[in-house]
Amino acid sequence: METVFERTPTFKDCPTHYCPGCGHGIAHRLVAETVDELGTRGRTIGIAPVGCAVLAYDYLDVDMVEVAHGRAPAVATGMKRTNPDKIIFSYQGDGDLAAIGTSEIVHAAHRGEQITVIFINNAVFGMTGGQMAPTTVLGQVTTTTPLGRKAEGEGYPLQVSELLAVLPGAIYIERCAVHKPAEVRKAKKAIKHAFQLQVDGAKGLSMVEVLSQCPTAWRMTPAEAVEWVDKEMTKVFPLGRLKG
């Protein structure tokens, strides 16, 4: 029997611009399913900054705000404080959240802002040509590290989830992946839990980090990218719940 996947009301019925094998489309669907299952579509506001995720508003049928590079947590803070009845989430990549937006996410978590953050980590600047990101792993080849990232020159990959987990204002931190079905199911559960905490009025920031394959910037086939997440990325960014 042929399996037919129907789009949820929150996931718009249109093609996406993402490259074949990219994990963003899966993450979008998990967010959309969560919003529909929680019944919060009418009071959910999403915030998308610069990066591959910038066009999330084309695919998620909720109120969306586009913001400057790295500033999503600051805008989310203002949106939640002025609209405490709304469910506010940011959808950010690693080139955004872990680079120009590092101070924004750290201080939002430090203050315990009542927002939900979906953090897509593909270990590279995907939209601008495949440059090294703070999350690029040691030895990984990018356009700005053609011989592979080296600790002595470029530093170590930034483990954002571990960094935020030590802050009292962060109430829930979990790292997931979307490279195979079992991990997609775990990611869905984590994303729904993060949103549920805000729905229930829990005080503090929740973040779900999602390891996502980027075949184009990694110069791999989709199958090779899936294997690289499984064999290499998870060594540096172990999956699992870090807090909450």
- Average pLDDT value for residue range 128-150: 92
Q: Are 67 and 100 in contact (CB under 8 A)?
A: no
Asked if pLDDT for residue 13 goes beyond 60, the answer is: yes
* Residue 4, pLDDT score: 60
Asked if pLDDT for residue 244 goes beyond 90, the answer is: yes
Exposure class string for 4-27: b at 16+ Cβ within 10 A, else e? eeeebebbbeeeeebbebbbbbbb
DSSP 90: E
Three-point CA angle 168, 79, 71, nearest 5°: 75
pLDDT tens profile 143-167: 999 999 999 999 999 999 999 999 9
Exposure class string for 81-96: b at 16+ Cβ within 10 A, else e? eeeeebbbbbbbbbbb
Pick the CATH number of 24-243 from 3.40.50.2300, 3.40.50.970, 3.40.50.10860, 1.10.3720.10: 3.40.50.970
The structural domains of the chain, with segments of one domain joined by +, span: 24-243
Average pLDDT, the chain: 94
Reported pTM: 0.94
